[in-house]
């Protein structure tokens, strides 16, 4: 089958993302990349854990964090992970419109999450929790900001993916691309679960 030939319902492979050597390479390579990303975030978490009580004259985590907003953000991101799962399920059944729809919802949820995060950071800055305030604030913004940067990059990636392939259907060339995006999105989501626990819940408890 030609790389750019549209799948039909009968000839679509069971795992379109791994049907070519290139696809397999991307699949394995991306998993490895996520392994590296895990260490990257682990380093950020380590730094944050080492410095989270060093708030100096700035507000403490307990004073600062508003759990309702963060909980809402968590729900939004978890849901977006679910919608990306639906998108990939649709892809495997060659339901291109359904896949695009689910990915579109994923994108909207991602943007909503980013909006909430910007709102949240803005609030914190007004309470005196600026980037340069203390070791706590620097490590907080770096950790959460790195995650936010990952969400932003994911949104840009998804937009370019959807726009480029809007009317092209699915084929051996673009199926791995959608799949990798979904993998990435799940990873970003998992990192957020850790941020929610380690930064916000532990910050509230003590």
Contact residues for other proteins, defined by CB under 8 A: 2-4, 21, 24-25, 28-29, 32-33, 35-37, 39-40, 43-44, 46-47, 50-51, 54-56, 131-139, 142, 156-157, 160-161, 164, 173, 177
User: Cα separations (Å) of 49 from 44, 71, 74, 103?
Assistant: 9, 21, 21, 35
**Residue 9, CA atoms < 13 Å, CB-side half-sphere:** 2
Q: How far is the CB of 22 from other proteins (least distance, A)?
A: 9
Contacts of 20 (CB under 8 A, 6+ apart): 3, 172, 176
Q: How far is the CB of 76 from other proteins (least distance, A)?
A: 25
Q: Which two tokens stand for residue 1?
A: 């089958």
Q: How far is the CB of 34 from other proteins (least distance, A)?
A: 10
Based on DSSP, count helices (H) and strands (E) in the chain, helices before strands. Answer: 7, 0
Select 23 or 110, whichever has its Cβ closest to other proteins.
23
Q: How far is the CB of 160 from other proteins (least distance, A)?
A: 6
Select 112 or 161, whichever has its Cβ closest to other proteins.
161
Select 55 or 74, whichever has its Cβ closest to other proteins.
55
Look at residues 110, 128, 93 and name the one whose alpha carbon lies nearest to residue 7. Answer: 93
H or E element in which residue 75 lies: helix 67-92
Select 43 or 66, whichever has its Cβ closest to other proteins.
43
Q: How far is the CB of 102 from other proteins (least distance, A)?
A: 20
Select 86 or 157, whichever has its Cβ closest to other proteins.
157
Contacts of 79 (CB under 8 A, 6+ apart): 109
């Amino acid at each position: 089958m030609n790389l750019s030939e549209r799948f039909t319902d009968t000839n679509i492979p069971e795992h379109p993302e791994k049907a070519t050597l290139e696809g397999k390479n991307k699949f394995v390579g991306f998993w490895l990349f996520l392994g590296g990303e895990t260490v990257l975030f682990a380093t950020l978490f380590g730094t944050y854990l080492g410095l989270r009580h060093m708030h100096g004259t700035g507000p403490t985590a307990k004073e600062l964090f508003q759990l309702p907003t963060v909980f809402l953000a968590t729900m939004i991101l978890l849901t977006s992970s679910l919608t990306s799962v639906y998108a990939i399920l649709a892809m495997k059944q060659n339901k291109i419109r359904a896949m695009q729809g689910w990915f579109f919802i994923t994108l909207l949820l991602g943007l909503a999450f980013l909006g909430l995060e910007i709102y949240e950071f803005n609030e914190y800055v007004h309470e005196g929790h600026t980037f340069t305030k203390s070791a706590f604030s620097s490590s907080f913004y770096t950790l959460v900001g790195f995650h936010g940067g990952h969400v932003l990059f994911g949104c840009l990636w998804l937009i370019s993916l959807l726009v480029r392939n809007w009317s092209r259907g699915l084929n051996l060339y673009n199926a791995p691309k959608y799949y990798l995006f979904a993998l990435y999105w799940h990873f970003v989501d998992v990192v957020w679960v850790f941020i929610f626990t380690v930064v916000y819940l532990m910050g509230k408890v003590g």
